[in-house]
Amino acid sequence: MVTTSSKWDVFICHASEDKDAFVRPLAIALRQLGVSVWYDEFSLEVGDSISRSIDRGLAESAYGIVILSPAFIVKPWPEYELRGLVSREIGEDKVILPVWHGVSRQEVLKFSPPLADKLAIDTSHAGSQDVALQILRVVRHDLYSQHPRAWLERIASGQASHELQKEIERMREELENAREELSEFQCPYCQAPLAERISAPADSSQDHWDLREIYDCGYQCFGGQVESACPSDPNFPKFSEYDLEFHHNPEEPYWRWKCFIHPKTITARRLSLSMGLGRTQEEAEMKIREEYDRRSQKYQSKPWHARGPATTRGASSLKAPWPCGCGPVMPVVRQCLFKCICSLLNIPLLNVPR
């Protein structure tokens, strides 16, 4: 009997003396298996009214697991919870799932004859994990029937979660290694991808050659020296680090004003800006400012499918791009992600809604 309106699959009715040895491991195993459990350690918060929370748990749970033990029989709170479950069961098909924990049939019969007539799980023949699997078969048969018992046992024991955690840690390490490999092909300030790597002469006689690297953000370096700054560089030049020089030629038919920009600082020299042309002085200055604003915008990553392939010309140290547009080390990342997806697909997702 499972009602779609129930907030929890099961409510665990127990005595506190049985918590450490049996009830807590049972509740944890049930949660590992995907069963939603009302259990005081999971469900009660500081300041909650105990009686009101228990009443809500009783009313909003599809089943009530009753841990019948010597301590339970003499406790008032468990007996109060049991009466609530019994009143629920009078008008419904099956609500109470009894678990005999260290009691005999005669003791249960003396305590509650209706409970003694119910088919119960006896912990003298089963541990908390096996009890959890038997309960799963009743309360969430949809989950129980989808997976082999051996796999469910691994999940209930926490072994599957431990193996998944180890796999996640291993993949995290692989991704960190891949990130280090990728750093060669990313801007050191904003991680924008390398757009072009060109082999170019380092002197006028062309006796020495070096690599010029250009990144999507505008960062550019040649032989380890910065030629154009990245907007994310904390030392990116401010517009105030430039002087403007205006030339006026009234005989020019259209662009009568030219605006030249001169760097005043070392960092400003790392960002070269073009001359501004305009019909008025204000227009020529505006063209310069527009170019500065465009060059100073920080890089925003594009989706992988929107990126073009990196290009190489005369650079033997950079392999040809992959057809997908990714750099040469991207297969490492793709392999890690593929393993991650495969691992997740091989592990049943048990925490699914009814």
Catalytic residue among 41, 79, 81, 169: 81
Cα-atom radius of gyration of the chain, to the nearest Å? 36
| 3 state SS of 12 | strand
Close Cβ partners of 139 (under 8 Å, ≥ 6 residues apart): 2, 9, 10, 35, 62, 63, 97
The Cα 10–Cα 38 span in angstroms is 6
Decide if 81 is catalytic. yes
Q: Return the HEC string of 286-322.
A: HHHHHHHHHHCCCCCCCCHHHCCCCEEECCCCCCCCC
CA distance 277 to 246: 10
Distance CA(70)–CA(102), nearest Å, equals 7
Of 251, 277, 273, residue with least CA distance to 263: 273
Active-site residues, by number, are 81
